[in-house]
Amino acid sequence: YYILHPACQNGDHYLGDSEGSFHIIKGNSCRRVTDLSTDSNAVVYKLHPNCQGGDHYFAAHRYFYIIFQEKGTLRVTTDMNLDSDAEVHTLHPDFRDGLYYWELHHIKLFGMCFSFLKPASEWGVEFCHAPYLGKDRRTAVYSVHPDVLNFLPGGLSVTKGPAIGMWENIKTIKNDSNTPVTWQKRITKKVGYNKEKMTQITHNWKIAASASVESGQLAKLIAKLQFSFSAEYGGSHVSTENERWNEATEEEEQLTLNLKPHESVYLWQYKLGLGQESVLFCRDLKITSEPNPPTEVPLPPAQP
């Protein structure tokens, strides 16, 4: 675990080659470095038009592989700036919807092998590899362990359930009398992060003592990311950076309300969860005169 150099942050795609370099694709340009934490030996080059706009990029044996999922093609080239020695292959339909692609070296019985993760089906998320992505032959398929899924972007939506944002009614106040009343009381609300639930995902992880992040902090970062993803990846597309990510605690808040005869008001608190589990209890309350929950989302949209 290390901090990316500022020049190496916010890339669209990251890939490593067999020469020990890392390539960071951002838009239509690529930055090549030998160390992502120091930006060592940085070289920036323009992607050839044929190499732009790929959905997945990976490299092996001095070749770069670019997958265009909508076209259903795999482009192979030795240079993404010049598009040298380019070949285009049609992807087999079963191999077009992968979430991640990479190449493994010399797997027993397979030789050179392409590997990829397929999204959840009736059999769950599958890890597959095959010697050629153009034909569905000699393919090996394995299920992915939940501990691995929890670490992958979007994986919590599979193991826990998709992100859900909802308003919870924490208090209903009624004036059943025929005269106006002033209601003044302290209400209790839970604010913060359900640390106990989220750290369960890290119980089987082994984090080196030299690592600069502990398991609880890592679980928190993964949860934040999950909420920021689009619905396609089981997220809510909201930013929670300004919310309180300390361990959840009970807080009191003083309220004074003037109620008309036979008037009712409803107190709502927004929370985010994964599946059936509540994860983040937001700070702000909303008061309405209707028993139906508010429709607006009180959190800003996640930045792309």
Question: Are 120 and 220 part of one and the same domain?
Answer: no
Question: Are 14 and 141 part of one and the same domain?
Answer: yes
> Which contacts of 275-280 are long-range, i.e. CB under 8 A and separated by 24 or more positions?
275/160, 275/161, 275/162, 275/164, 276/161, 277/160, 277/161, 277/194, 277/197, 278/194, 278/197, 279/193, 279/194, 279/197, 279/198, 279/223, 280/192, 280/193, 280/194, 280/223, 280/227, 280/240, 280/243, 280/245
Residue 257 lies in a domain: yes
Residue 54 lies in a domain: yes
Instruction: Give me the half-sphere count of Cα atoms (radius 13 Å) on the Cβ side of residue 163.
Output: 28
Question: Are 141 and 15 part of one and the same domain?
Answer: yes
Question: Are 97 and 168 part of one and the same domain?
Answer: no
Residue 265 lies in a domain: yes
- Closest of 90, 49, 44 to residue 67, by C-alpha: 90
Domain that holds residue 181: 163-288
> Which ranges in the chain belong to alpha helices (H)?
146-151, 156-159, 195-199, 215-228
- Domain final residue, candidates 145, 171, 190: 145
Question: Are 32 and 124 part of one and the same domain?
Answer: yes
Q: What is the Cα–Cα distance from 272 to 225, expressed in whole angstroms? A: 13
Give residue 37's pLDDT.
93
Q: What is the Cα–Cα distance from 104 to 18, expressed in whole angstroms? A: 12
Give residue 109's pLDDT.
45
Question: Are 86 and 119 part of one and the same domain?
Answer: yes
- Domain final residue, candidates 110, 145, 180: 145
Give residue 135's pLDDT.
66
Question: Are 27 and 137 part of one and the same domain?
Answer: yes
**CATH number of the domain to which 24 belongs:** 2.115.10.10
Question: Are 42 and 73 part of one and the same domain?
Answer: yes
Q: Report the number of distinct structural domains present in the chain.
A: 2
Give residue 110's pLDDT.
44
Question: Are 178 and 254 part of one and the same domain?
Answer: yes
Residue 253 lies in a domain: yes
Q: What is the Cα–Cα distance from 170 to 91, expressed in whole angstroms? A: 52
Residue 297 lies in a domain: no
Residue 154 lies in a domain: no
Per-residue pLDDT of the chain (304 residues), as tens digits, is 578 999 999 999 999 988 889 999 999 999 999 999 999 999 999 999 999 999 999 988 788 999 998 999 999 999 999 999 999 989 888 788 888 777 765 544 444 677 888 876 777 888 887 776 766 665 678 888 888 888 888 889 989 999 999 999 999 999 999 999 999 989 999 999 998 888 888 777 776 655 566 667 888 889 999 999 999 889 999 999 999 999 999 999 999 999 999 999 999 999 999 999 999 999 888 999 999 999 999 999 998 6
Residue 295 lies in a domain: no
Give residue 277's pLDDT.
92
Question: Are 124 and 187 part of one and the same domain?
Answer: no
Residue 299 lies in a domain: no
Would you say the C-alpha torsion 19, 111, 95, 135 has a positive or negative sign?
positive
Q: Do residues 26 and 11 touch, judged by C-beta distance below 8 A?
A: yes
Token pair for residue 133? Answer: 């992505």
Question: Are 202 and 134 part of one and the same domain?
Answer: no
